């Protein structure tokens, strides 16, 4: 039964063709009466992606968190597949989200920088390009209805709105939560950042962040109940555990990690509600549930054994917890160190839903269904590129990770002062790390392995020529419509001093 579900999904197209063929041949009376359902109904799997914000590698129980308990989130991995080497091709919010929805590096999909409103303008022309093909757009052709709930942060105007990106339904915040208050002229440009929208309609103003996660979860469950006959796609993008950390009252004091941990407890509770809804509706075996985070933790959080934080091209910025659950297809209890990426979710979903990926562009993700089913252990990624904004900073090949020389001038705005990671912000020569023995990137071995260093030359050349670099436009780069994307927010840099 369990494997058959997947076989059915794989055979979607052939079966439909077979059905079509049968229609032209009038069935005999015997066939009609005796076995009306001879060809079993083929069911396309539902997809639920639960996407945490700034959740670090060591922030949940199954990844070693102490003082925080996440049984519901962890159950996704226990009943399915835990990925301990999961690469996000960005270390901040917007590019990570653009890559999840397109399966492409941020330099290719045109969102290499965080979409950040500033005092002078709201970057109204910067966001997810209407020319990108998104998950919900791809799934629409396969008969899916799609919902996004939560933090969008991929632009709002000029074709970047969630409804323009292919979602049938939307509920949530424009970007990061920011409470402006009534008379705060300084933050006038972010005045809607505490407003909840349903599609293009503002449905609530001055919303308390403490109320948001429950409302999000109610919306997700309502959609699943309405769409239970499927197939459906839910992209649930939490504001948890991005600052400010404001858990609902009943979660305050429940962790030993302050409001940060309490906030994660609230996300765990929400995850439990979504999983319970799927179970109650009998959809468990028909639904792929994915849990991951958009980038590593900031200073408030815990990146476990990894070095560096959000804003850096250290593993602490790019490697996050990930889990996949699909009973009957993905065997339970898998714990994997195979290198996978959030970009893989796009081709994975294309495969299991019988959808057609766009053929006119490069999709950087790989179909990982064989790995998730436990049939393959080799990573589909020979090379991975780490950009900080538009700056190519590191390349990984298997256990080897090269950090390229860089200056402060090469950095995106978030690394210009002390709020950024401030780790390896300036390098005057390359550094090489063996991630197999030095996952924390603490012991530079560049001098010991000149031949390994040299083996990266072709990869550097490819990345710069095709994906681009801070001062180079790549042949397959979608260039953001900004004069100097790295420095879009100098006002913010000059005025912000907090670490959050």
How many residues bind Ca ion (CB under 5 A)? The answer is: 5
53 binds Ca ion (CB under 5 A): yes
Query: Could you identify the residue written with the tokens 């440009």?
Result: 189
Closest to Ca ion by CB, 114 or 350: 114
Q: Smallest distance from the beta carbon of 241 to Ca ion, in angstroms? A: 9
Closest to Ca ion by CB, 54 or 302: 54
93 binds Ca ion (CB under 5 A): yes
Residues 308-327 that bind Ca ion (CB under 5 A): none
Q: Smallest distance from the beta carbon of 110 to Ca ion, in angstroms? A: 19
Instruction: By CB under 5 A, name the one of 164, 169, 294, 315 that touches Ca ion.
Output: 294
- Pick the stretch among 52-60, 343-351, 440-448, 481-489 that binds Ca ion (CB under 5 A): 52-60
Q: Smallest distance from the beta carbon of 250 to Ca ion, in angstroms? A: 25
268 binds Ca ion (CB under 5 A): no
22 is catalytic: no
Closest to Ca ion by CB, 53 or 137: 53
Residue 45 token pair: 């799997």
Closest to Ca ion by CB, 132 or 294: 294
498, 421, 315, 47 alpha-carbon torsion, rounded to 10°: 40
**Which of the following is catalytic: 93, 242, 265, 381?**
93
54 binds Ca ion (CB under 5 A): yes
Residue nearest to Ca ion (CB): 93
Buried b (16+ CB within 10 A) or exposed e, 411-429: bbbbbbeebbbebbbeeee
Q: Smallest distance from the beta carbon of 374 to Ca ion, in angstroms? A: 31
Buried b (16+ CB within 10 A) or exposed e, 448-485: eeeebbeebeebbeebbebbbbbeeebeebbebeeeeb
Closest to Ca ion by CB, 311 or 456: 311
- Pick the stretch among 45-53, 343-351, 418-426, 480-488 that binds Ca ion (CB under 5 A): 45-53
- Pick the stretch among 54-62, 214-222, 223-231, 394-402 that binds Ca ion (CB under 5 A): 54-62
Q: In what order do the strands lie in the sheet with 431-434?
A: 384-388, 391-397, 400-403, 431-434
- Pick the stretch among 6-14, 269-277, 292-300, 326-334 that binds Ca ion (CB under 5 A): 292-300
Q: Smallest distance from the beta carbon of 492 to Ca ion, in angstroms? A: 16
Residue 92 token pair: 């901040």
What is the distance between the alpha carbons of residues 385 and 90, in angstroms, rounded to a whole number? 9
Closest to Ca ion by CB, 44 or 153: 153
**Which of the following is catalytic: 116, 153, 178, 381?**
153
Phi-psi region of 350 (alpha: psi -120 to 50; beta: other; left: phi over 0): alpha
Q: Smallest distance from the beta carbon of 419 to Ca ion, in angstroms? A: 14
Closest to Ca ion by CB, 54 or 137: 54
Closest to Ca ion by CB, 99 or 295: 295
What is the distance between the alpha carbons of residues 35 and 33, in angstroms, rounded to a whole number? 6
DSSP 445: -
Cα–Cα–Cα angle for 150, 480, 419, rounded to 5 degrees: 65
Whether the CA torsion 326, 328, 329, 330 is positive or negative: it is positive
Q: Smallest distance from the beta carbon of 93 to Ca ion, in angstroms? A: 4
Bridge partners of 469, per DSSP, are 472
- Please state the φ and ψ torsions of residue 110, each to the nearest 5 degrees: 90, 10
Q: Smallest distance from the beta carbon of 294 to Ca ion, in angstroms? A: 4
Phi-psi region of 424 (alpha: psi -120 to 50; beta: other; left: phi over 0): left
241 binds Ca ion (CB under 5 A): no
Q: What is the 3-state secondary structure (H, E, C) of 307-360?
A: CCCCCCCCHHHHEEEEEEECCCCCCCCEEECCCEEHHHHHHHHHHHHCCCCCCC
Instruction: By CB under 5 A, name the one of 295, 298, 336, 339 that touches Ca ion.
Output: 295
Catalytic (active-site) positions: 93, 153
Give contact residues for Ca ion (rule: CB under 5 A). 53-54, 93, 294-295
């Amino acid at each position: 039964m369990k494997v058959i579900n997947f076989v059915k999904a794989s055979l979607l197209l052939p079966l439909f063709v077979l059905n079509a063929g049968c229609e032209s041949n009038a069935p005999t009376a015997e066939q009609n009466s005796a076995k009306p359902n001879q060809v079993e109904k083929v069911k396309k799997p539902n997809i639920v992606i639960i996407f945490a914000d700034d959740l670090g590698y060591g922030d949940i129980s199954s990844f070693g968190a102490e003082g925080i308990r996440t049984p519901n989130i962890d159950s996704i991995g226990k009943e399915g597949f835990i990925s301990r080497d999961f690469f996000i091709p960005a270390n901040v919010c917007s590019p990570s989200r653009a890559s999840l929805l397109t399966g492409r590096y941020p330099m290719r999909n045109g969102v290499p920088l965080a979409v950040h409103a500033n005092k002078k303008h709201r970057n109204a022309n910067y966001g997810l390009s209407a020319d990108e093909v998104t998950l919900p757009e791809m799934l629409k052709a396969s008969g899916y209805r799609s919902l996004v709930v939560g933090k969008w942060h991929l632009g709002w105007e000029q074709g970047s709105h969630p409804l323009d990106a292919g979602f049938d339904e939307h509920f949530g915040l424009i970007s990061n939560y920011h409470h402006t208050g009534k008379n705060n002229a300084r933050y006038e440009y972010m005045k809607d950042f505490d407003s909840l929208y349903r599609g293009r309609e503002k449905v609530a103003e001055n919303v308390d962040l403490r109320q948001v996660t429950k409302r999000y979860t109610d919306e997700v469950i309502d959609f699943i109940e309405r769409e239970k006959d499927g197939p459906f796609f839910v992209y649930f993008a939490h504001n948890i555990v991005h600052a400010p950390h404001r858990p609902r009252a009943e979660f305050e004091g429940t962790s030993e990690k302050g409001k940060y941990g309490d906030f994660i407890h609230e996300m765990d509770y929400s995850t439990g509600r979504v999983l319970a809804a799927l179970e109650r509706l009998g959809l468990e075996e028909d639904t792929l549930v994915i849990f991951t985070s958009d980038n590593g933790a900031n200073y408030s959080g815990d990146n476990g054994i990894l070095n560096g934080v959000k804003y850096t091209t250290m593993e602490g910025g790019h490697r996050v917890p990930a889990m996949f659950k699909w009973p009957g297809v993905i065997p339970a209890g898998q714990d994997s160190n195979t290198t996978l990426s959030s970009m893989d979710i796009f081709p994975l979903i294309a495969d299991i839903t019988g959808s057609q990926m766009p053929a006119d562009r490069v999709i950087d993700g790989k179909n990982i269904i064989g790995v998730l089913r436990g049939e393959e252990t080799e990573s589909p990624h020979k090379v991975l590129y780490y950009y900080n904004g538009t700056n190519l900073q590191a390349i990984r090949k298997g256990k080897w990770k090269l950090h390229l020389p860089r200056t402060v001038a090469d950095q995106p705005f978030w690394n210009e002062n002390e709020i950024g990671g401030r780790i390896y912000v300036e390098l005057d020569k390359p550094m090489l790390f063996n991630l197999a023995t030095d996952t924390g990137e603490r012991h530079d071995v560049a001098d010991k392995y000149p031949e390994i260093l040299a083996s990266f030359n072709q990869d550097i050349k490819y990345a710069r020529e095709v994906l681009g670099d801070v001062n180079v436009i790549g042949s397959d780069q979608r260039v953001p419509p900004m004069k100097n994307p790295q420095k879009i927010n100098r006002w913010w840099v000059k005025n912000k001093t907090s670490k959050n």
